[in-house]
Chains A and B, each alone.
Chain A
Amino acid sequence: MKNKYLFGGIIIVVFIGLMGYLVTQSSIKYENNINKIKTENKTVKATGQWVREKDYNYDLKSRMFTFYMKDEQGNQMKVVYNGAIPNNFKSAQSLVVSGKYQNGYFKANSILTKCPSKYEGQKIQSSGI
């Protein structure tokens, strides 16, 4: 009878450990190298900036929002997002798009915009005492 609880306890501990390990594996990783995104073909959260020189495009009929994104090294990729343009897309300092690179473009499921905060503390004037 005691063996049953020992055995069961071991099974539970092992599988909870396995579950915890798998949960940490499944979280989508951030990636800021666009060349890597293009080759690896995995679902990632790509960070980068909107290429202002190439204009964005919003197709009203298919509700497709297309723009170009670049990383710090200057590599570029086309991003396609099925949905509305995020509110402060134009003023965003950097973007986080999650999705997958396929068929020559990055298909985004969501776009996060990082904006210049209006709550940044103003520089306190030193009174020079």
Chain B
Amino acid sequence: MKPYALFKKDYHSELRTRYAINSLVMFIIVALSVILFSIGNEKIPQNLTAGLLWVVIFFSAMSGLSRAFVSEEERGTSLILHLIAAPTTIFSGKLLFNLILVFLMNIIITILYSVLFEEFIIRNFLLFFLTFILSNIGLAIASTIIAAIISKAGAKGTLYPVLSFPILLPLILISVMLTSYSMVGTSFADAVIELAVLACYDVIMLTISYMLFDFIWKD
């Protein structure tokens, strides 16, 4: 069984229930409108705009991405997955699904954000684009492995953001910094170190996830 087949299965079951997509879209709309109402006519500084964008992204990810493994556990299908595929394959399939979901979510958030907030102007587009891709990959990897960890636990809804926060903290700090850099219009050469740190984070998370998933899954 290839990872792609697992992805297709997730894709079809997601289209049928629309659980993750609905909760993501609802959360994005609610969070953005709360921010919009609370700001009103005031002009907010640029670094605050970048921070608020990442607040929305973080909590949207928390509301939808845990579904990857929790849904298997709730429907009692995880044992069948055990039988038909190797742990690495399962992780790849779930990661692929979460990657698509994260990219979809963040594209929607960024488009809505740039439409709704006039302060949100990207001056260095290439820098923002690279930040966007690298941080989305990191977010997808971290949220997939944490979803696998919490899927066996009791209080899943609360445990997920609590466990994610320390793991995602470096990613979010660097992403906020890079987003405000690209809004100010810092040159690419000045931000290349932060981008490299972000890429390192992605590689580390990916390696750790593939190493640890065997133990999490066999439990």
A8 touches B211 (CB 8 A): yes
Assess whether B211 is in contact with A19, with CB atoms less than 8 Å apart: no
Q: Is the CB of B211 within 8 A of A15?
A: no
Closest chain-A Cβ to B188's Cβ sits at a distance in Å of 14
Most buried by A among B186, B200, B210: B200
B200 near A4: Cβ-Cβ < 8 Å: no
Contact indicator A12/B207 (Cβ below 8 Å): yes
A26 lies within 8 A of B194 (CB) = yes
List the A side residues contacting B207 at CB < 8 Å. Answer: 8, 11-12, 15
Kindly provide the distance from the CB of B168 to the nearest chain A CB, expressed in whole angstroms: 15
Task: Assess the B194–A19 pair: CB atoms within 8 A.
Answer: no
Kindly state whether residue B80 has any CB partner on chain A within 8 Å. Answer: no
Chain A interface, DSSP helix/strand/loop, else mixed: helix
User: Distance in Å from the Cβ of B206 to the closest Cβ of chain A?
Assistant: 9
Which A22-53 residues have C-beta < 8 A from chain B? 22-23, 25-26, 42-43
A15 lies within 8 A of B197 (CB): no
**Is residue B5 contacting chain A, with contact meaning CB distance below 8 A?**
no
Does the CB pair B210–A8 fall under 8 Å?
A: yes
Interface SS of chain B: helix
In the assembly, what is the distance between CA of A5 and CA of B215, in Å?
Answer: 12
Closest beta carbon of chain B to A47's beta carbon, Å: 21
Count of interface residues, chain B, beta-carbon cutoff 8 Å: 14
Contact B211 A5 (CB under 8 A): yes
Cross-chain contact A11 with B203 (CB below 8 angstroms) = yes
Residue in A closest to B191 when the chains form the complex, CB atoms: A26
As a 0/1 sequence over residues 185 to 219 of chain B, the CB contacts with chain A under 8 angstroms (1 = contact) are 01000100110110011011001101100000000
Encode contact with A along B164-182: 1 for CB under 8 Å, 0 otherwise: 0000000000000000000
A residues less than 8 Å from B204 (CB atoms)? 11-12, 15-16, 19
The chain B residue with its CB closest to the CB of A1 is B214
Q: Which chain A residues numbered 1 to 23 have a C-beta less than 8 Å away from chain B? A: 4-5, 8-9, 11-12, 15-16, 18-19, 22-23
Q: Is the CB of B211 within 8 A of A25?
A: no
Chain B residues within an 8 Å CB radius of A11:
203-204, 207
Instruction: Select which of A8, A16, A43 is within 8 A of B190 by beta carbon.
Output: A43
Measured CA separation A42–B186 after assembly (Å): 11
A10 closest partner in B (C-beta): B207
Q: Which residue of B lies closest to A24 (CB)?
A: B193
Cβ B197 vs Cβ A22 within 8 A = yes
**Inside 8 A of B200's CB, which chain A residues have their CB?**
15-16, 18-19, 22
Q: Collect the chain B residues with CB atoms within 8 Å of residue A8's CB.
A: 207-208, 210-211
- Closest B residue to A42 by beta carbon equals B190
Interface contact A25-B193, CB-CB below 8 Å = yes
Q: Please determine whether A19 and B210 come into contact, CB atoms closer than 8 angstroms.
A: no
Distance (whole angstroms) from the CB of A75 to the closest CB of chain B? 24
Residues of B at the A interface (CB closer than 8 Å) are: 186, 190, 193-194, 196-197, 200-201, 203-204, 207-208, 210-211
Across chains A and B, which 4 residue pairs bring their CB atoms closest together, nearest first? A19-B200, A26-B193, A8-B211, A11-B207
